[in-house]
């Protein structure tokens, strides 16, 4: 057996730390935690975090969790393989579709890897000159840091170590001279205060988790934006491993067609560029969709309705 995945509460705490640091730096994106089994535990997208960031973060976190090493190391190894082998790896492991650097494994008390964490998004990446980024807050111990690796290392409470190449050269290219101060990169940030969409999605997810708990059920929940991309995903400890996949697909159907997911004509799902499912369990929101995965579809529909009642 692969052992235990990180608990949802612990994954949520890490993501909250990363989002607080990202807002303090002045960047926006998504953060994902994937369990060592390869199952998503939790993921959050910040306000104006950009499309695609959740998928990239999840892929890098999956690599770090399941391969038990930083995704940078995995990327280096893949580069040494013939193209056919690298292609074959992704074919066998489709969740590793974005094999970028920045994903970090997370070890439990016994030293075994229990999860991976990664970030990506509109202005969460390996550079230092994103619009809005606060220069002094991208300095860690007097050395240049990049936004993506900084917020992940801060969340984990470990010393900063860049995962994306030469931070010093990027700093020189952007600012002309290396920093001459300790900086605020690893300082504790204030609580985030500019994330209304994230707070809204988190509250919906919390209500769904609470409703499932009252029913004695274990579920996954997904809140999607109007394009159908998740902005919040959570999987309760011990939920069926299909639950987060089902919840994301059903939420996408409800969000993009603006009707309950069970009312979407299945033939229309082929027009979407990502997985969507036309089964009960998802309801449209003003600007998105909410879906439950894990229990039978009719029960998922009941929970979603209770959340929105």
- Give per-residue pLDDT as tens, 119-134: 999 999 998 889 899 9
Beta bridge pairs of residue 230:
224
Could you tell me what percent of the chain has a pLDDT over 70?
A: 99
Q: What is the number of residues in the chain? A: 309
Please enumerate in sequence order all residues whose Cβ is within 8 A of that of 207, keeping only pairs 6 or more positions apart, or say none.
Answer: 307
Mean pLDDT of 46-64: 97
The pair phi, psi for residue 266, each rounded to 5°, is -55, -35
H or E element in which residue 258 lies: none
Quick: pLDDT tens for 69-119: 999 999 999 999 999 998 999 899 999 999 999 999 999 999 999 999 999
d(Cα 289, Cα 304) in Å, to the nearest integer? 10
Residue of 183, 195, 88 lying closest to 134 (CA atoms): 183
Long-range contacts of 10-15 (CB under 8 A, 24+ apart): 11/41, 11/42, 11/115, 12/42, 12/234, 14/106, 14/117, 14/155, 14/156, 15/42, 15/43, 15/44, 15/117, 15/155
So what's the pLDDT on residue 4?
86
Please tell me the number of Cα atoms within 13 Å of 302 on its side-chain side: 12
So what's the pLDDT on residue 86?
87
Instruction: Answer yes or no: is pLDDT of 61 > 90.
Output: yes
């Amino acid at each position: 057996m692969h052992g235990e995945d990180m608990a949802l509460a612990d994954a949520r705490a890490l993501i909250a730390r990363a989002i607080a640091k990202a807002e303090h730096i002045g960047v926006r994106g998504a953060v994902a935690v994937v369990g060592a089994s390869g199952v998503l535990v939790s993921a959050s997208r910040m306000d104006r975090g950009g499309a695609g960031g959740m998928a990239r973060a999840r892929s890098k976190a999956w690599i770090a969790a399941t391969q038990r090493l930083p995704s940078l190391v995995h990327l280096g190894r893949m580069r040494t393989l013939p193209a056919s082998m690298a292609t074959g790896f992704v074919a066998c492991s489709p969740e590793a579709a974005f094999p970028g650097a920045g994903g970090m494994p997370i070890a439990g008390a016994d030293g075994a890897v229990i999860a991976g964490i990664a970030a990506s998004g509109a202005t969460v990446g390996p550079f230092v000159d994103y619009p809005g980024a606060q220069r002094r807050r991208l300095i860690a111990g007097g050395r240049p840091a990049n936004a993506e690796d900084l917020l992940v290392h801060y969340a984990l409470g470990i010393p900063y170590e860049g995962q994306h190449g030469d931070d010093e050269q990027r700093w020189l290219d952007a600012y002309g001279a290396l920093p001459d101060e300790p900086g605020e990169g690893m300082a504790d940030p204030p609580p985030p205060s500019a994330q209304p969409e994230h707070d809204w999605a988190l509250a919906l997810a919390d209500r769904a988790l609470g409703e499932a708990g009252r029913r004695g059920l274990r579920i996954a929940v997904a809140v999607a934006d109007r394009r159908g991309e998740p902005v919040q995903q959570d999987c309760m400890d011990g939920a069926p491993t299909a639950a987060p996949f089902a919840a994301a697909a059903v939420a996408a159907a409800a969000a993009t067609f603006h009707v309950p997911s069970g009312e979407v004509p299945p033939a229309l799902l082929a027009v979407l560029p990502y997985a969507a499912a036309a089964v009960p369990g998802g309801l449209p929101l003003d600007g998105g969709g909410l879906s439950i995965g894990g229990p039978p579809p009719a029960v998922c529909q009941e929970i979603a309705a209770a959340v929105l009642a």
